[in-house]
Chains A and B, each alone.
Chain A
Amino acid sequence: MNWLFATRWSPYAAGIGIGVLSWLTFLISHKALGCSTAFSRTSGMIEKWLRGDKVAEKAYYQRVPLRIDWQWMLVTGILIGAFISALISGDFRGQWVPDLWMAAFGAAALPRLIVALVGGALIGFGARWAGGCTSGHGISGTLQLAVSSWISAICFFIGGIAAAYLLFALAR
C-alpha cells in the first residue's frame, strides 16, 4: 500500500486513472468531468446574496441556473481528495508563494496574490467565453473528439506558453 502514500505518481498512472474516472462519470452520472461552470454558479450566488434576486435574472444565469449541482459537488470533492492525498503523503504545504515564483520574483506574498487575482479573473472570464476549462474542454471534450474542445485546448496552451515566457522574461 506504499503507493497510496507516495507524494507523486507517474503522470501516466494519474492520467490513466483520470481517464477511467471519466468512463464512470459518463456511465453512472451521464456527465463529463468539468469545473468552471461551478465557479459561475458560485459567483452568481454570492452576487445574488449581496445584491438581491435580480442577479438571478441575468441572461447567463438563465442558462446556468444558480444552484448547487453535480459539478459543484465534484469541485468540492476535489478539495477533499487533494487534501487527503497531500496529507497522507506529507505534502501539505501551507505556503503563500510557490517555489518557482519565489525563485523568480522573490518571497513577498502581495505581488504573488495580485498576479494570482488578475490571472484568476482572466481564467474565470476566458473559461466562460470559451465554454469550458482545462477539464471540461481539455480532458472531457477532447476525449469525445469535440472540435470546439480541441481548438480551445490548443489555444489554452498557446496563450499560456506565450504569457509564461513573457512573465518569466521579466525576471531573467
Chain B
Amino acid sequence: MVWGFIFGIVFGFLLHKGGVTNYDVILGQLLLEDFTVVKVMLSAVVTGMIGVYAMKHLGWVTLSPKSGSWGANVIGGLIFGVGFALLGYCPGTIVGAIGNGYFDALVGGVPGILIGAGLFAHVYPRLRRGILQKGDYGDVTLPQLLKMREWVVVPVVSVLLVLILVWIETLWPM
C-alpha cells in the first residue's frame, strides 16, 4: 500500500512532465496534430517490456497479462475511445489533471467516470456470459500466439516500435 502511494507520486510527476495531464495534448494527439501521447506511451512500453521480460527470464517477476475477448476489448475499447475524445483525459491522467489545476477534470470528468463505472457494475450480470465472452482468447501473449520465443519477439517488437517513433519524428518533427 505504501509502495503504491510512492509509485503513484512518481507516476503523477512523470505524467505531468510528459505533458499528458493536459487536455490540449491529449486532443492534439487524437486530432493527429501532436504526437506527445504516442511518444510517451511507446517509449514507456519499449523500456518496460525489455526490463520486465529480462526480469521474468531471471525469475524475478511473473507476468500478469489480462485475459480478454473480441467482444470485450473491441467494443469496450471503442466506447472508451469515444469517451477519451470527449473528456480529453483518461482514468490515470485525469487525476494528474486535477493536480495540474484543471477543474473540468474534477467537477465534470471524475463524477462521469464514477457514474460510468457504477453503471457497468449494474449491467455486468447481463454482459458477462454474453458479449464479454464473444471470441474469447484468454490471457494469451504475443509470443504464445505466434509460438515464438520471447527473446525473439521482444527485440523484434522493440525495433518495430522504435521505427514507428522514428517515422513519427520524420513526419511530424517536434
Contacts and interface: CB of A to CB of B under 8 A. Distances in A.
A55 to B, nearest CB: 9
A79 B122 CA distance: 28
A93 B79 CA distance: 29
Interface in A24-65: 24-33, 35-36, 38-40, 42-44, 46-47, 58-61
Interface in B6-60: 6-24, 27-28, 30-32, 36, 39-49, 51-52, 55, 60
A139 to B, nearest CB: 5
Tell me which of A8, A113, A117, A148 has the highest count of chain B C-beta atoms within 10 A of its own C-beta.
A148
A82 B105 contact: no
Nearest to A134: B90
* Interface secondary structure of A, over-half rule: helix
B5 A73 contact: yes
Interface residues on B, range: 35 or more
A87 to B, nearest CB: 9
Tell me which of A36, A113, A124, A141 has the highest count of chain B C-beta atoms within 10 A of its own C-beta.
A124
A14 B14 contact: yes
Interface of A: 6, 8-9, 11-33, 35-36, 38-40, 42-44, 46-47, 58-61, 68-86, 91-101, 109, 112-165, 167-168
